Amino acid sequence: MSEVARYSRRLVLGAGVAMAATVALGAGLGGVAFAADTVKLGVSIPAATHGFTGGIVWWANQAKAELEKAHPNLKITVKTASGAPEQANQLQDLVTVTKIDSLVIFPFESAALTQPVLQAKKKNVYVTVVDRGLTDPSAQDAYIAGDNTAFGRIPAEYIAKNYNGKANIVALRGIPTTLDNERWEAFTGVLKQYPDIKILDGKYANWNRDDAFKVTQDFLTRFKDIDVVWAADDDMAFGVLKAIEQAKRTDIKEVFGGAGSKTMVKTILDGSNPLIHADVSYSPKFIYDAIKMTAEARLKGDKLPATYIIPSALITKENAKEFYFPDSPY
């Protein structure tokens, strides 16, 4: 079974429900939907600067290849950007030069991309925002994401349970975005219930392995007693592990990453690193689903539900096989 088929099988029920809902939300006047003769869909995503965005780029191009083959009247243009200014410029080109009528955008940053997306929407472009939400929801027609609240809540509950409500924690956040805020608020919200669990510090490390290494070095210098490191991304977790190894620290009992990369899941399966016991799922495959759902809805003249959330789950040795896809790029 192909990688696309394996991922799609896990989400087929939820995606089916979401697509069924689009029938009742027709884009035409009075709720009447009109199928489009052609759809020009722009896809705007971050460049492959780390493992997760590498997966995003791979899945986006998988969607382009498969959907254009299945729908001759669909043209998909995929643009990748290394920062928010570049993404904003590319977005303007998609609207004015490529003349897209639909957009799937994974914003590099929330605040910086809100106005450019809003300008696209004012030019009658149908907008699906993926994962990193905008600061003004009126700039979007639909929002598709993993469950960021669960992404933060699940590791906090896991730590509270496995450390009997008593631990010293340092945390590495991602990039300042709405989704990072959701994760952080969920994580800290759970741990507020446990007065003996102390979050010593939390710093942004940009979902980047090298940045996480540097942030962890700082933590290790400043704090002599750390039980758990929460690195809200598997790439960051590997940077954390390297810093701990270099410093020869033995007080740290666990590093909890996030997103269920194949390397991390394999580590959990094999039990090959004593600091890695669990993870939380958050597959980059959601960009594939967002592109597919948006393209097929627009070809029918339909709208998507305003919000579609893909669940996250705790990954442990007991269920890790369900989340291990060796052929995936992430």
267 lies in the same domain as 288: no
Angle at 12 between CA 328 and CA 129, to 5 degrees: 75
11 lies in the same domain as 132: yes
What are the b/e assignments for 188-202, b being 16+ CB within 10 Å? eebbeebeebebeeb
**Does some domain include residue 318?**
no
CB within 8 A of 53, min separation 6: which ones?
A: 45, 46, 47, 207, 284
Q: What pLDDT was estimated at residue 35? A: 64
Q: Is the pLDDT of residue 30 over 60?
A: no
**Does some domain include residue 329?**
no
**Does some domain include residue 177?**
yes
CB within 8 A of 165, min separation 6: which ones?
A: 194, 196, 197
191 lies in the same domain as 134: no
Q: Mutual orientation of helices 51-70 and 286-299 as an angle, nearest 10°?
A: 30
**Does some domain include residue 185?**
yes
**Does some domain include residue 115?**
yes
The rounded percent of the chain whose pLDDT value lies above 70 is 89
- Of the two residues 104 and 133, the one the predictor is more confident about is 104
**Does some domain include residue 321?**
no
**Does some domain include residue 121?**
yes
Q: What pLDDT was estimated at residue 36? A: 63
299 lies in the same domain as 275: no
126 lies in the same domain as 37: yes
Q: What pLDDT was estimated at residue 37? A: 84
The mean per-residue pLDDT over the stretch 71-80 comes to 98
The mean per-residue pLDDT over the stretch 289-297 comes to 97
160 lies in the same domain as 246: yes
Q: What pLDDT was estimated at residue 305? A: 95
Q: Is the pLDDT of residue 193 over 80?
A: yes
The per-residue pLDDT for range 262-278, each reduced to its tens digit, is 999 999 999 999 999 99
3-state secondary structure at position 151 = helix
127 lies in the same domain as 211: no
29 lies in the same domain as 75: yes
Strands 102-105 and 314-315, sheet pairing: unpaired
pTM for the whole thing? 0.73
- Contacts of 179-185 with CB under 8 Å at 24 or more apart are 179/110, 179/131, 179/132, 179/133, 179/145, 179/148, 180/204, 180/232, 182/148, 182/149, 182/151, 182/152, 183/148, 183/149, 183/151, 183/152, 183/232, 184/152, 184/232, 185/152
Sign of torsion over alpha carbons 255, 258, 260, 262: negative
Q: Is the pLDDT of residue 212 over 90?
A: yes
The rounded percent of the chain whose pLDDT value lies above 90 is 80
Q: Supply 16's token pair.
A: 């089916």
Q: What pLDDT was estimated at residue 326? A: 86
157 lies in the same domain as 80: no
Q: What pLDDT was estimated at residue 172? A: 98
252 lies in the same domain as 303: no
Q: What pLDDT was estimated at residue 195? A: 97
96 lies in the same domain as 57: yes
Question: Per the structure, how many domains does the chain have?
Answer: 2
Mean pLDDT of the chain: 90
pLDDT confidence bin for 31, thresholds 50/70/90? very low
* Whole-angstrom distance, CA of residue 289 vs CA of residue 63: 8
Q: Is the pLDDT of residue 27 over 60?
A: no
Return the CATH number at 66: 3.40.50.2300
129 lies in the same domain as 188: no
- Of the two residues 22 and 294, the one the predictor is more confident about is 294
216 closest CA partner among 200, 240, 235, 197: 240
The mean per-residue pLDDT over the stretch 53-66 comes to 94
330, burial (CB in 10 Å: exposed 0-12, middle 13-18, buried 19+): buried
**Does some domain include residue 323?**
no
- Domain encompassing residue 77: 3-140+283-313
Q: Which string of DSSP letters, residue by residue, matches 35-101? A: --S-EEEEEEEE-SSSHHHHHHHHHHHHHHHHHHHH-TTEEEEEEEESSHHHHHHHHHHHHHTS--S
